[in-house]
Structure 1
Amino acid sequence: MRNTARVIFENETGHPLRIAYPSPALCSLVEYYFEIDLSHATAMQSMKGLPAVTTLLAFPLRPTAWTSVDDANGRVLRLQHSQFLGHLTHSYSSLYAPGTLIFFIKLKPGAAARLFRCPPAELENSQLPLPFLSRDTGLFKNTCLEEQLTAATHFADRVRHCEHALQLTLVELPDTDHRFDMVAHCLRKFESLQLKDEKGLQHLCGSLHVTYASLRRYFLSTLGVTPKFAQKTIRFKKALQEYRSCGYNFYYEDFGYTDFSHFAKDARALTGSSPLEL
C-alpha cells in the first residue's frame, strides 16, 4: 500500500498539533513541547518524521496505539506505552487513529545522551519503552510525570508538569564540555544556513582551529552522527519547507544545492520520496 504520510512543519496551520516552547532555563535541553490531539477526528491521520538529530519523548494519554513505519525497510511497529524515539538517519511514518492524544517532548540535539547517560549511537533510530530507559534518571525518579500528564486536562498544564520535572532533572545532569559546546555552536551555524555546503564545513573547521577528523569525533561522541549528516538533514528540512511554499520557483542555491536535481536526490536518499510527495 502506498505511503501517503506527509511532513508537517511547525509554522503550518490547520494541523492537529499544539506547540509550546520551554522556559529560558530549559532552552538548552528542550526544543519544544507538542501534542497530537485527534479527539474530534473522524479518519486516520498519517505524518512523516524527517531525519533529524533531535529526539522525542512520547506520552500517550489515552489507551490508543499508534503505528510506526520505518520508511527504509517497511518494518511496522505498534506502539502504545510511553516511548523514547531516537534521532533518525532516515524518515519514519506514523499513523494515528481518531481519538488519539499523545504528548511529546522534543529534546535538543545531544540532550538525550546526557539525560539517559548513554552513548548517543545506541539511540539511533530507536523506539524504546520510556520507563525502562529512564528508570535511573531524575525525570521519573523524583516525580510521577506520566500520571500527572494523563490526569491534566489542558495542554498548558501538561507543559507545566514537564517544566517542573525537567527543572529537577537539570541539576543532576553532567556538565557539558568544550566538545559539546563546539557541536552546539556548529549546529547553530547550520540552522542559520551560514554554512550549507562542503566549503562551508571546511571554513567552519578553520574558524574553530580543528581538523574535520576531530570535529567528526566530537559529533559522533555527542550526537551519534557526523557533521556532514547533521548539516545535510538541517538544510534539507529548511529547503523542503521553502519548496513547500514556493514550488519549483524556490532558489535551491540558498540551501547549498547545485541544482534542483541535487535537492531531489537528497530527498530520495533521506526519505525514499520525491520532494513533491513529502
Structure 2
Amino acid sequence: MMSASMQRPSMGLLHLQEGEKNFQLTRYAPSEDIAFFVKHFWIVSWDLSEQKQYLQEVVPNPCVNLIVQQGRSGIFGAAKQKYSYLVEGKGCVFGAKFRPGGFYPFMQQPVSALADRPLDIRDIFDVDGPAMEELLLSQEGEAAMIELAERFIKPKLPVQDESVTLINQMVDWIMAQRDVTKVDQLCAAFHINKRTLQRLFDQYVGVTPKWVIQLYRLQNAAETLDRSPSHDWTQLSLELGYHDQSHFIKDFKAVIGVTPEQYASNSNRKS
C-alpha cells in the first residue's frame, strides 16, 4: 500500500516552513516494480482564493520530473539554477520524480537534451498532456491519482539498467559525505575514470557530476540557514567542505541567487 512520506527535509524547496502555510505537499512511494526508476510521486495542492499569491523558490535536483499541470504538462530535465513557482488561486500539480539516471532507460537518448526543452508526455507514454491532465487531475483523492499514473507507466517499464544503480549509489554517497567537493574524490571512491564519469552523467543524469556535488553542498547550507539563520559563515563553509569562505559565498549565490547572509536575513523575516 502506498503511503505519504513522513520525512521533512526540504528536498529543494527554500523556506519550506513558510511555503507550507500556502500549499500542501505530499510525497508517495511508488509500487515496487516502478521504484527502480521512480523515486516518488509528489502532489502539491493549494487554495489561495481568498489570499494573496505566493512565490515559492526551488533549488534544482539531478532528477527528471514528469509533471501534470493544467496547460503546462511535460517531462522536464534538471534545471541548472534556482527557479520560482507562483502559487495563486486554486490548483493542483502532480509529479513523478524519477531517480537520478532513472529516466534514461525510457528515453534512450542523452538526458542532457532535456536542458533545452521539455519532452512531450506522448513521446514516452501512450497519452498526450491535455488528456493526462483531464484524466488525472479529475480523480477523487490522491491515491486514485497515483494509481492512474502507475497504469500509464507500468506498460512502458524498460529493462532495469545497472548504470542507474551505480549513479544512485554515487549520488547517495555525495549526499552522505559532506566533505566531498571535487569530482576526483568521486572517481577515486568508485574507481571510475573521470572522462567515463562525465559521459555517464551527461547520458543518464543530464548534468555534470561537479554540478551535483555543488548542488547538494549548497542545498545543505540553505536547509541549515532555514533552521538557524544566525550562523558563523566561516564555520558553515568548513562544515560543507569549503576551505575558502569567499568560494562558498560565490557558489551559494550562483545556485541560490543571493548570498548566505541575504538568505539568512530573508529566513529571519519569514519566521
**TM-score, normalization: structure 2?**
0.77
Matched, 1:191 2:182: no
Write the letter of the residue equivalent to 2:27: A
Q: CA deviation at 1:232?
A: 0.9
Matched, 1:37 2:45: yes
Aligned partners of 1:124, 1:10: CA distance in 2, in Å? Answer: 30
Aligned partners of 2:15, 2:37: CA distance in 1, in Å? Answer: 23
- 1:8-87 equivalences under 5 Å are 8-9=15-16, 13-23=20-30, 24-41=32-49, 42-60=51-69, 80-87=71-78
Write the letter of the residue equivalent to 2:210: K
Aligned partners of 1:258, 1:248: CA distance in 2, in Å? Answer: 20
Aligned partners of 2:229, 2:174: CA distance in 1, in Å? Answer: 23
* 2:4 aligned residue: none
Aligned partners of 1:148, 1:108: CA distance in 2, in Å? Answer: 25
* 2:106 aligned residue: 115
Aligned partners of 2:17, 2:212: CA distance in 1, in Å? Answer: 19
Q: Which runs of 5+ in 2 are unaligned?
A: 1-12, 267-271
Q: CA deviation at 1:231?
A: 1.0
Q: CA deviation at 1:111?
A: 2.5
* 1:257 aligned residue: 242
Matched, 1:149 2:158: no
- Contact kept? 1:58, 1:105, Cα under 8 Å: yes
Matched, 1:89 2:80: yes
Q: CA deviation at 1:53?
A: 1.0
* 2:189 aligned residue: 207
* 2:96 aligned residue: 105
For the structure 1 residues 10 and 153, does the alpha-carbon distance in structure 2 shift closer, same or farther, using more than 3 Å as the test? farther
* 1:169 aligned residue: 156
Q: CA deviation at 1:22?
A: 1.7
Moved more, 95-104 or 228-237: 95-104
Write the letter of the residue equivalent to 2:90: G
Moved more, 150-159 or 242-251: 242-251
CA deviations on 1:60-97 (whole Å, 9 max, x unpaired) are 25xxxxxxxxxxxxxxxxxx331222211112112122
Matched, 1:232 2:214: yes
Q: Which runs of 5+ in 1 are unaligned?
A: 1-5, 62-79
For the structure 1 residues 47 and 248, does the alpha-carbon distance in structure 2 shift closer, same or farther, using more than 3 Å as the test? same
- Contact kept? 1:39, 1:101, Cα under 8 Å: no
Write the letter of the residue equivalent to 2:88: A
For the structure 1 residues 40 and 51, does the alpha-carbon distance in structure 2 shift closer, same or farther, using more than 3 Å as the test? closer
- Contact kept? 2:74, 2:121, Cα under 8 Å: no
Aligned partners of 1:181, 1:81: CA distance in 2, in Å? Answer: 31
- Contact kept? 1:145, 1:165, Cα under 8 Å: no
Write the letter of the residue equivalent to 2:77: G
**TM-score, normalization: structure 1?**
0.75
Aligned partners of 2:17, 2:76: CA distance in 1, in Å? Answer: 18
Q: CA deviation at 1:270?
A: 1.5
How many aligned residue pairs are there? 244
Aligned partners of 1:29, 1:168: CA distance in 2, in Å? Answer: 13
* 2:165 aligned residue: 181
Aligned partners of 2:166, 2:90: CA distance in 1, in Å? Answer: 43
- Contact kept? 2:179, 2:240, Cα under 8 Å: no
* 2:10 aligned residue: none
